[in-house]
Structure 1
Amino acid sequence: MARAGRGGQGLARVAVVVRAGAAPLWWLGVFATGTGVLAPGVTGRWIGVLAGAALFLVTAAVVAQARRGRYDALARGASRAGRYDVLQDRAVTVRAWRRGHRWWLLLAFAVAFGSSFAVPAAGGMLLAGAGAGLRLKAARLGRRERAGDALLWVRVDWLDGRGGNPVGKAVRGLRSTGVAAGDAAPGGARRRAAALV
């Protein structure tokens, strides 16, 4: 966790927090789908895959749009980060989220895999849809950051102990910096090294 001095605050990128769960949810969902489709299930594979595809699309859309108004309101009211605020590295933010949610991720995978014995592949595709939705949400934040020429940050101490919800009840406002700040690009992806000339 980033530490700040002289009245500054540790700040984590909002888009990185959002994006942190996308990859594990996606890959756990893909694995659960691949292994789950091997079981014939109660409904049969074909119905399971069709149901899973519908769940994937619905879940991705719901997760991508969840709390959109709250994100927009906090982004509009973001204040400039202070001189003594400390920007948390992308890897630290991702690690904190994944460590805090590891048991939930394992439970979600177990449920998705177990559900394949009833409806093959559906649970895994739902899980993958949640991961895709988080990636879409982060991409939308990235477009907003580029359009506003400012990155969005949240105070680390306002995130819960699991690495948190960047727009949770404890979050009373966001901070902003220029787009060159920190080690993550708009949207929360790793910042690409500048090309050598």
Structure 2
Amino acid sequence: MGRGAYALARVAVVVRAPAGPLWWLGVLSAGVGVLVPGLTGRRIGVLAGAALFIVAACVAFAARRRRYAELALGASRAGRSVILQDRAVTIRNWRRNRRWWLAAAFLAAVAVSFVVPAAAGMAMAGLGVGLWAKALWLGGLERAGEVLLWVRTDSARGSAAGKPVRGYLTTGLSAGDAAPGGSKRVRAGARG
């Protein structure tokens, strides 16, 4: 993977980063869409949206799963010189780099509501759910292998399983500040 110090981001966190914005922007745009009668009517729009929600969630969950599994299977141990990026930094960087894309997707979903109410917003929310489920699936891979999966930040700008990604690196389960699956790690002293 190269010599010298370089930054690593958690694979599950990179996958999970868009899930929250897509879910909340989708729910918001679907809510706005329900207020608009649209050309097809609310009932047809909501039924179409429910179907699109399921399809989008399944597509987001299934996309590139084989590639993720292959990269996880071929992962090598991270060296001592790596810098483990915090969960919050990974999420902030992803959202900052795509904020205009998210805003455009939200506006497009609201605009589509004038034709098919709520459908595009529900599809966005489905994408968020599918990505969240994929992060949980990655967490299952991490628990099964008793390692955390990391990817170099310079190669994971588009996707954690894109062509520039040549391989994953692993650390022990206690490394970093995110639990398997990319959620916030609950510290033992934080429980009431």
Specify every segment of 5 or more residues in structure 1 that has no aligned partner in the other structure, as ranges: 1-5
Distance 2:154 2:20 in 1: 24
Residue 157 of structure 1: how far off its partner (Å): 1.4
Distance 1:127 1:83 in 2: 40
Q: Deviations over 1:17-46 (max 9, x none)?
A: 000000000000000011110111000000
Aligned position for 1:3: none
Which of 91, 109, 121 aligns to 1:94? It is: 91
Aligned position for 1:120: 117
Letter aligned with residue 177 of structure 1? T
Distance 2:5 2:25 in 1: 38
Letter aligned with residue 174 of structure 2? A
Which of 24, 27, 36 aligns to 1:30? It is: 27
Matches within 5 A, 1:108-187: 108-160=105-157, 164-187=158-181
Distance 1:194 1:114 in 2: 47
Distance 1:49 1:159 in 2: 36
Aligned position for 2:74: 77
Runs (4 or more) in structure 1 with deviation over 2 Å come to none
Aligned position for 1:21: 18
Letter aligned with residue 64 of structure 1? F
The alignment covers a number of residue pairs equal to 189
Asked if 1:63 is matched to 2:60, the reply is yes
Distance 2:126 2:33 in 1: 16
Distance 2:77 2:154 in 1: 18
Residue 8 of structure 1: how far off its partner (Å): 2.5
SS at match of 1:170: coil
Letter aligned with residue 37 of structure 1? V
- If the length of structure 2 is used for normalisation, what is the TM-score? 0.96
Distance 2:71 2:5 in 1: 20
Which of 97, 100, 108 aligns to 1:103? It is: 100
Distance 2:61 2:150 in 1: 19
Which of 179, 183, 191 aligns to 2:185? It is: 191
Equivalent pairs: percent with the same residue?
Answer: 63
Residue 130 of structure 1: how far off its partner (Å): 0.6
Distance 2:131 2:39 in 1: 31
Distance 1:136 1:120 in 2: 26
Letter aligned with residue 8 of structure 1? A
- If the length of structure 1 is used for normalisation, what is the TM-score? 0.93
Distance 1:96 1:189 in 2: 17
Letter aligned with residue 40 of structure 1? P
Distance 1:65 1:7 in 2: 35
Specify every segment of 5 or more residues in structure 2 that has no aligned partner in the other structure, as ranges: none
Distance 2:63 2:154 in 1: 23
Residue 64 of structure 1: how far off its partner (Å): 0.4
Distance 2:154 2:52 in 1: 35
CA RMSD, Structure 1 to Structure 2 (Å): 1.2
Distance 1:9 1:78 in 2: 16
